[in-house]
Amino acid sequence: MRPFPLVLAGSLAVSLLFLTVPVAAIFLDTSPAELVRSLGEEGALDALRLSLICSTIALGLIVLFGTPAAWLLATRRFRGRALVITLVELPLVLPPAVAGIGLLAALGPHGVFGGAIGNRLVLTTAGVVCALTFVSAPFYIRQAQAAFESLDRTWLDASRTLGATEARTFARIAIPAAGSGLLAGLALAWGRALGEFGATLMFAGSFRGITQTVPLAIYERFGTDFTGALALSAVLVGVSAALLLSVKLLSGAGWLGGAAR
């Protein structure tokens, strides 16, 4: 065998091993029976429920506001567009601790806009939703914008000449045609929201049943109850994998490939 293909195969083997061993170890370290038992403990199910509810609400908000915003960015050219896009993408590269501080500074009791809403967000479930939305929205908006930009422009033109307003074109042509790209963005954003830790901890705290999502619950346990932390981690791996898989199946071969043609 020639050396270069060997190098390629070797690199993939090393990458795969490094990336899968920690995930596999979560399931191998403890017996399935023990995992299931520790899930029954008080707090574990609460954390799961909270994670699902908060991330779902956050995703709903992101789709509701992010989709039209992404459409605007994809279809209009205006002064300062590049700046707007950069600002929208900024949370992608912010350290979670900075995001948490930022949220406190803006919406906390003594924050810029805190006077009106502060006490209703900080250390509450709504605060969790707020933190998740902040950190994961850019993942969706960026992907949605790319999906809209890669649409065949003549489809949009054709729709207009066939009597459809821009709003109807958006709903009936752009969204279905960019569907796989939008779903891909949704999966990325959801994955980010489920794993969110730093910003949530700083902005909403870690109170069982109120603001303690699964990652926070894992952190709380791992000093005292490693098996419990493993059990919750296993569930998060399962949910994340199922999410990734279902989106891949839903969007077919067009996965991450932008628009369906």
Partner 1 sequence: MLRVEARARLGALALDVALEVEAGRCLALAGPSGAGKTSILRVAAGLLRPEHGAVACGEEIWLDTARGIDVAPERRGCGYVFQEYALFGHLRAWQNVAYPLTGIPRRARRERAQELLERFGIGALADARPRTLSGGERQRVALARALARGPRALLLDEPLSALDARTRAAAGRELAGVLREAGVPALLVTHDFTEAALLGHEVAVVDGGRIVQRGDAARLAAEPASAFVADFTGAVVLTGVAHPIAGSATQVELDGGGVVTALDRARGPVAVSVYPWEIALAPEHAADPGSTRNHLPVEVVSITTVGNRVRVGLAAPQPLTAELSDAAVRELELQPGSRAIASWKAAATRLLPLSVHQTVSDKPS
Q: How far is the CB of 173 from partner 1 (least distance, A)?
A: 6
The nearer residue to partner 1, 37 or 168, going by C-beta atoms, is: 168
Q: How many residues does the chain have?
A: 261
Contact, 199 vs 99, CB < 8 A? yes
Contact, 194 vs 55, CB < 8 A? yes
Q: Which long-range contacts (CB under 8 A, 24 or more apart) does 106-112 make?
A: 107/203, 108/203
- Rounded to whole angstroms, the Cα distance separating 132 from 121 reads 13
Q: How far is the CB of 169 from partner 1 (least distance, A)?
A: 8
The nearer residue to partner 1, 58 or 177, going by C-beta atoms, is: 177
Contact, 239 vs 193, CB < 8 A? no
- Rounded to whole angstroms, the Cα distance separating 243 from 190 reads 8
For 196, the token pair is 């969110």
Q: How far is the CB of 163 from partner 1 (least distance, A)?
A: 5
Residue appearing with tokens 């067009």: 254
The nearer residue to partner 1, 154 or 224, going by C-beta atoms, is: 154
The nearer residue to partner 1, 250 or 260, going by C-beta atoms, is: 260
Q: How far is the CB of 104 from partner 1 (least distance, A)?
A: 44
- Rounded to whole angstroms, the Cα distance separating 55 from 131 reads 10
Binding site for partner 1 (CB under 8 A): 152, 154-155, 157-165, 172-173, 176-177, 179, 260-261
The nearer residue to partner 1, 72 or 175, going by C-beta atoms, is: 175
Q: How far is the CB of 139 from partner 1 (least distance, A)?
A: 24
